Amino acid sequence: MFFIAGFGVFAAIAWFAIASNPAMTLSETEHRASTRLPQGQLLRRLIREPAVLLVLVMGIGVFFFNHGLNSWLPELLAHGGMSQISAGYWTSIPTIIGIAGSLIITRLATPGRRFHILFGLLALALIASAFLQFQSEPFMFFGLFVQGIAKSSLNTVLILILIELPVVGDRYAGVASGLFLSVAETGGVLGPLTLGFLYDYSEDFTTSLTLLSAIAIALILASTIPN
């Protein structure tokens, strides 16, 4: 944990140094001068757009699913009969698969395929939450494998869809991306908290995984709404 904290401090110092660079300061000043709308007004304008609002709500659902499942995955596997050490190794499966998925899937997510890929990733998330309910190791392995594929690119694909909306475009891509991450982190906080509450209430993860399956189904339906 000291190493992770130290890495975070190093990253913060690096970002501060980059942001303090005179060239970066000049670029930011020129960008603000060229922006026609004040940021607050622009954010309100974006939120009023139904397509933008839909992507933001989907972002909350995706973060809820990913953060909730990732945070409780070691305990979920240990609850299924694995030792803590084995559960730790198995928890790395989605991460390893996700590295390969993020390199491949994002390259395939061209504008013409983007909604199809989003639908497929959400379907894999649903399959993962269903297969993780089984105690059998082959079923769990398959569930973790497809979860790694699903989580690898869901956020990226949603952000790409967001910045391609006519109301956003290249001009407001940075503001829209920041808005997406800020709003979606609501799900990132609520996911682990909700799954923890449900585990305390039911003393197993059946209810939690059922909730994640329901969220995945809702996201799949949302992805079919015409933009």
pLDDT tens digits in sequence order for the chain, 227 residues long: 899 999 999 999 998 888 787 776 665 665 555 556 666 777 788 888 888 899 999 999 999 999 999 999 999 888 877 888 888 899 999 989 988 888 888 777 777 788 889 999 999 999 999 999 887 888 989 999 999 998 888 888 998 888 888 888 777 788 888 889 999 999 999 999 999 999 988 888 889 999 999 999 999 999 887 65
pLDDT value of residue 79: 83
CATH label, 38-223, candidates 3.30.390.50, 1.20.1250.20, 2.30.30.90, 3.30.750.24: 1.20.1250.20
pLDDT value of residue 145: 93
What is the rounded distance in angstroms from the CA atom of residue 29 to the CA atom of residue 144? 46
In sequence order, what E strands does 44-142 have? Answer: none
The dihedral through the CA atoms of 207, 212, 216, 221 has a sign that is: positive
pLDDT value of residue 110: 77
Six-digit token string for 4:
């992770």
Q: Which sequence spans correspond to the domains of the chain?
A: 1-34, 38-223
pTM of the model: 0.82
* Residue 209 CB contacts under 8 Å (≥ 6 apart), including other chains: 76, 129, 130, 132, 133
- The CB-based long-range contact list for 102-110 (8 Å cut-off, 24+ gap) reads 102/152, 102/153, 102/156, 105/149, 105/152, 105/153, 105/157, 106/153, 106/156, 106/157, 109/153, 109/156, 109/157, 109/160
